[in-house]
Amino acid sequence: MTEGEDAVLIKDMVLPFQKTASLKDVTLFGGMKVLRMTFRERKRFTMIDLDPTTATEVAESLLAWAEENK
pLDDT in tens, 5-39: 899 999 999 999 999 999 999 999 889 999 999 99
DSSP structure string for 6-60? EEEEEEEEEETTTEEEEEEEEE-TTS-EEEEEEEEETTEEEEEEE-HHHHHHHHH
Which amino acid is it at 53? T
Identify any residues that bridge with 14 across adjacent strands, giving them in sequence order. 20
Percent of the chain with pLDDT over 90: 89
pTM (global) more than 0.75? yes
